[in-house]
Chain A
Amino acid sequence: KNEVEQSPQNLTAQEGEFITINCSYSVGISALHWLQQHPGGGIVSLFMLSSGKKKHGRLIATINIQEKHSSLHITASHPRDSAVYICAVRRDDKIIFGKGTRLHILP
């Protein structure tokens, strides 16, 4: 079993829909990252969080340490949000990555 599991693996939605991507992990962590990778490969760090909730524009990330679970929400989704979203957990000096969720927003 992978230490970091993301769901769903693939998600297609209409523009404007509220999007939720989930991440569950099975190890003790000091922080969790959400990353975005657009077609063509560039990887951007969206959030790093160790508790509670963070918001940046239309993106919201939450984490529940007790339940070992995090969610990434996108409000009012737009085709430019189409990308792979990757959850990663920090354990000591190492990062363990999920396999990503491929999101496709249709206009």
Chain B
Amino acid sequence: NAGVTQTPKFQVLKTGQSMTLQCAQDMNHNSMYWYRQDPGMGLRLIYYSASEGTTDKGEVPNGYNVSRLNKREFSLRLESAAPSQTSVYFCASSDRTENYGYTFGSGTRLTVV
């Protein structure tokens, strides 16, 4: 089925470890996003990519890096995980046209101990 595929679904890291969250979409969307969702905070933008080859910081970029590998893939890297990065992470993609709206991945629940 067409959509956004996000891996892994669950991850436990020790403080200081690194990891990469993978995201791929097959809808030919130009824009891709990484969000984190924390209780009482709503969704907050970490980084986004308006098109292949471009990335920009969002609201909470510190501690993260991203790569827009090609039009389909947008990865999020934690170089040295901290307990404050315990959260649920969502990847999303969108198209500017009225018909497509916004499509989310199923989320990654990350715990940093």
A residues neighboring B (CB under 8 Å): 31, 33, 35, 41-45, 47-48, 50, 86, 88, 93-95, 97-100
Assess whether B42 is in contact with A99, with CB atoms less than 8 Å apart.
yes
- Taken together as a complex, chains A and B put the C-alpha atoms of A42 and B90 apart, in Å, by 9
Cross-chain contact A43 with B50 (CB below 8 angstroms)? no
Report whether A45 and B45 are in contact in the complex, using a CB–CB cutoff of 8 Å: no
Q: Which residues of the partner chain A approach B86 to less than 8 Å between Cβ atoms?
A: none
Could you give, for residues 90-103 of chain B, a 1 whenever the CB lies within 8 Å of some chain A CB and a 0 otherwise? 10101000101111
Q: List 30 A-B contacts (CB under 8 A).
A: A31-B98, A33-B101, A33-B102, A35-B104, A41-B88, A41-B106, A41-B107, A41-B109, A42-B104, A42-B107, A43-B90, A43-B92, A43-B107, A45-B101, A45-B102, A45-B103, A48-B98, A48-B100, A48-B102, A86-B43, A88-B43, A93-B31, A94-B48, A95-B45, A95-B102, A97-B43, A97-B44, A99-B40, A99-B41, A100-B42
Partner of A93, one of B50, B103, B104: B50
Question: Which secondary structure dominates where chain A touches chain B?
Answer: strand
Closest residue of B by beta carbon distance from A41 = B107
A33 and B15 alpha carbons, distance in the complex (Å): 36
Bound: A37/B78 CA distance, A? 25
B33 close to chain A: CB less than 8 A: yes
Distance, CA A101 to CA B9, complexed state (A)? 25
